[in-house]
Amino acid sequence: YSVNNLKNARERIKKFLGDDPDKISSVFFIASDATSIPIKSDSADVILTVRVVHHLDNPDGYFDEVRRILKAGGLFILEFANKRNIKNIFRFFLGRMDTSPFNMEPSQIGETILNFHPEYISNFLKERDFVIKKRISVSNFRVSFFKKFPGTRTLIFFEKIYQKFFYFILLGPSVFLKCVLNKKTDKNIAGVNNTRANGKIKIEDILICNFCGKATLSINGNKIKCKNCGSNFIIEDGIYNFKLKA
């Protein structure tokens, strides 16, 4: 959603790709609301979401969009903040936390962050035809004292062991899910054909208007116009900004 973050990401990727214009032209940066994404249905092979869901007050709306955009059999990798982590469990039993880490209600952290019970998120996904293939608890030893002693490298070593043998015990502050979408593709929906002769996708192939949902966008310079509903958007510093009408 943040245009500034997208600009920073664009600069980092340009440096990573060595300012190769051909490679850079195949990476698109789009600013939009997570519950109204201007991308065609059944067009994505993989969707990766990290450090995002705990900032959404309407995560079910985002999962609806992920289901719509992802192709049947597509891969969804999701990370979320886990309220049922070992630290919260100890704090709850010691009387230092009022909210139970065991109930399904999201717990509010500050003004903008929501922590979720793993089953709460899993139920959302299952209702939308996602099959969870793997669960991994991460940052299991993220405690300030442990970072100093025995140190970060030792913690990473034990983290790898924990994830290999105890991955199903979700007690870390963050959880990763690997999911596959098990849905039937609507034959009336024209997704993106990834088998182009040059192997590249044009931005016009994937975009739709996030107000009317139609693939009727025309791009002229730094202006984007929807021929169906008349909405106008802008392109600034290589960012396709669909957050607000221009």
Q: Output the CA torsion sign for 114, 117, 121, 127.
A: negative
Task: Specify the pLDDT at position 197.
Answer: 42
Task: Specify the pLDDT at position 204.
Answer: 85
Residue ranges of alpha helices (H) inside 188-243 are 203-206
Answer for the pair 20, 10: CB distance below 8 angstroms, yes or no.
no
Instruction: State which residues of the chain have pLDDT below 50.
Output: 195-197
Q: Contacts from 61-65 at CB under 8 Å and sequence distance 24+?
A: 61/34, 61/35, 62/34, 62/35, 63/124, 63/125, 63/128, 64/35, 64/128, 65/34, 65/35, 65/36, 65/37
Answer for the pair 133, 179: CB distance below 8 angstroms, yes or no.
yes
Closest CA relative to residue 209, chosen from 4, 37, 13: 37
Task: Specify the pLDDT at position 189.
Answer: 57
3-state DSSP assignment of residue 155: helix
The pLDDT tens digits of the residues spanning 5-19 come to: 999 999 999 899 987
Task: Specify the pLDDT at position 20.
Answer: 83
Answer for the pair 26, 196: CB distance below 8 angstroms, yes or no.
no
The pLDDT tens digits of the residues spanning 199-235 come to: 677 888 899 999 999 999 999 999 999 999 999 999 9
